[in-house]
Chains A and B, each alone.
Chain A
Amino acid sequence: MSTILGKAHLLRCPPGTSLQDGGRALGANYGIPRSGAMDLHSYHWANHLLKNPSQAVALELVQPGLKIKFEAPCRIALAGATVAVTVNQVGISNPSLIALDAGDLLEIGAFHTGARLYLCIEGGFQVEKYLGSGSDFVSITGTATRATGEYLHYLPTQSKAVLQAKPKWSTDWFEPETIQAYPGPDWALLSADQQRILLDQPVHLSKLSNRMGIQLEELVANELDDLPTNPVFPGTVQLTPGGKIIILMRDAGVTGGYPRILQLSEDAQSRLAQKKAGDSIRFQLLPTH
């Protein structure tokens, strides 16, 4: 049996838009990054609303300006950043869960709070999976981002479905500054002064941030040597010889040679993914388990 896939036309696709799911857990043995949604909390929430299978592929947006036309009926869910949403140029006050008809035009405008929006569709966008994941990563899927003019495919619903549930997305969880982290493998190599600098004051996200990592504006002077190359994970915080603090995110390489000073909790990684350049965060040390 073959299903005729619905098509969604990206009439305008802002820079940095990519397809993401829970990530490529099995790739690390070949040096393949984890990838997947930067804010897994929001990604999972929206997929849950749609009763989607795990690893359903969603769009991750980092900028306003998306214009997407759905050529077959479908249900979508939005979570993450709060944004201005219109369907056929009519504003939607609660855009968590939206039923769309064939030909409907969805537009995403200004980001009010947060940095990343997840647009999930019932059944997930249909793409070829590699090592269990459809997440975009240039050396795997041939592209890091999606482009204007492309079509995305999905499993259409039979007709415009009536939606009973009115879930309300809240961003309260990502607004606090606190970023909880465990001491990293090399935390003990830092002096008491260096540890204090990292914990006692707010630090700020720099503009040098992408899916590989988020760099902070503050420097922490250090004379630590490079270490033997060892595993790193999303949420590992590295301290470079120049004193830069880099928080590794989903597309980071699987190993690194800089001291690994902190390891963010899973919740902290999702919260951090909703912070913008210039936002302040405050590390809070969790006890080692």
Chain B
Amino acid sequence: MKPSYQRISPTLGELVWNAEPTDELLSIQFAYLNYVQTNFSTSILEVRQGFTRLSLLWKNLASQQEFVKLVDTIHLNPEPLPEKVWQVPVCYHPEYGQDLEDFVKSKNLSVAEVIQLHTQGLYRIHFFGFLPGFFYLNGLSPKLHLPRKNVPALAVPAGSVAIGGKQTGIYPIQSPGGWHSIGRSPLPFFDPKQTPPVWAKPGEQIQFVSITASQFENWKDADTKNFLQ
């Protein structure tokens, strides 16, 4: 799991793993992330995570050159991943998942089977991207994979839980989007008035929990508090 380093511009480069995104890879990425932030804190501007890359933005060319000389000699142990599992309530109902009915037809599954498959696993948060507060999650059952829509929806409501290709995710804010919405969560996922603006961290896990339409409609702030402990 040793990465190579690809220089891009004088101040930008990335650690490259040509591997599938897995917990094992994420553990190694975390090790490099911590290593760089600890040992290059004065010369690095930003470390940005993706599924198979860690992008490093340097203050200047000299900082990057110093890292390049060193990178092959770095030996790191994988970083243990956090144990935290967040439960995320989802109402899987056509009224809240605007594509649920089309989705079950495309997959030749019943709604109950989709709920069962979507709630049975744990999903690992790898990083935030696409939209503020949008989790990139790993762990969707291959039985639920479905290519993204050809024509994106203009407005997917905040809290929508959706499937696109091999991935599942939650729209933290209203946005255009090409994933199939199968339900909606009453939890807030992004609030710029809070520091940090998100409640979960990369490496933690998500478990979806099915709730009824009436639970969704009667959702209270106190219920949110119970879930976000």
What separation, in Å, do the CA atoms of A207 and B142 have in the docked complex? Answer: 39
Q: Name the CB-closest residue of B to A262.
A: B8
Task: Give the distance to chain A from B50, nearest Cβ to Cβ, in Å.
Answer: 3
Most chain B CB within a 10 A radius of its CB, from A31, A184, A233: A31
Give the contact stretch, choosing among A156-164, A193-201, A224-232: A224-232
Number of A-B contacts (CB under 8 A): 99
What separation, in Å, do the CA atoms of A183 and B128 have in the docked complex? Answer: 25
Is there a chain B Cβ closer than 8 Å to A2's Cβ? no
Is there a chain A Cβ closer than 8 Å to B64's Cβ? yes
Q: Are A231 and B196 in contact (CB under 8 A)?
A: no
Q: Which residues of B contact A25 (CB under 8 A)?
A: 45-46
What separation, in Å, do the CA atoms of A6 and B36 have in the docked complex? Answer: 45
What separation, in Å, do the CA atoms of A208 and B72 have in the docked complex? Answer: 43
Task: Give the distance to chain B from A23, nearest Cβ to Cβ, in Å.
Answer: 11
Q: Which residues of A contact B129 (CB under 8 A)?
A: 31, 229, 231, 253-256
What separation, in Å, do the CA atoms of A255 and B45 have in the docked complex? Answer: 17
What separation, in Å, do the CA atoms of A130 and B57 have in the docked complex? Answer: 21
Task: Give the distance to chain B from A267, nearest Cβ to Cβ, in Å.
Answer: 11
Q: Name the CB-closest residue of A to B198.
A: A30
Q: Name the CB-closest residue of B to A254.
A: B129
What separation, in Å, do the CA atoms of A230 and B55 have in the docked complex? Answer: 8
The interface residues of chain A, by DSSP majority, are classed as loop
What separation, in Å, do the CA atoms of A139 and B193 have in the docked complex? Answer: 11
Instruction: Name A229's contact: one of B136, B172, B190 (CB within 8 Å).
Output: B136
What separation, in Å, do the CA atoms of A184 and B9 have in the docked complex? Answer: 9
Q: Are B50 and A27 in contact (CB under 8 A)?
A: no
B interface residue count range (under 10 / 10 to 19 / 20 to 34 / 35 or more):
35 or more
Q: Are B48 and A254 in contact (CB under 8 A)?
A: yes
Q: Are A130 and B192 in contact (CB under 8 A)?
A: yes
Question: Which residues of A in the span 203-231 have a Cβ within 8 Å of any Cβ on B?
Answer: 226, 228-231
Q: Are B64 and A30 in contact (CB under 8 A)?
A: no
What separation, in Å, do the CA atoms of A24 and B190 have in the docked complex? Answer: 16
Is there a chain B Cβ closer than 8 Å to A263's Cβ? yes
Is there a chain B Cβ closer than 8 Å to A277's Cβ? no
A139-B192, A255-B127 known; A263 and B132 CB under 8 Å? no
Is there a chain A Cβ closer than 8 Å to B134's Cβ? yes
What separation, in Å, do the CA atoms of A33 and B130 have in the docked complex? Answer: 9
Listed A/B pairs (8) with beta-carbon separation below 8 Å: A30-B196, A32-B132, A185-B6, A228-B21, A229-B50, A254-B129, A255-B130, A289-B9
13 additional contacts (CB under 8 A) given A231-B14, A254-B128: A25-B45, A29-B127, A30-B132, A31-B130, A31-B134, A140-B132, A183-B8, A185-B53, A230-B50, A230-B53, A231-B129, A233-B57, A289-B10
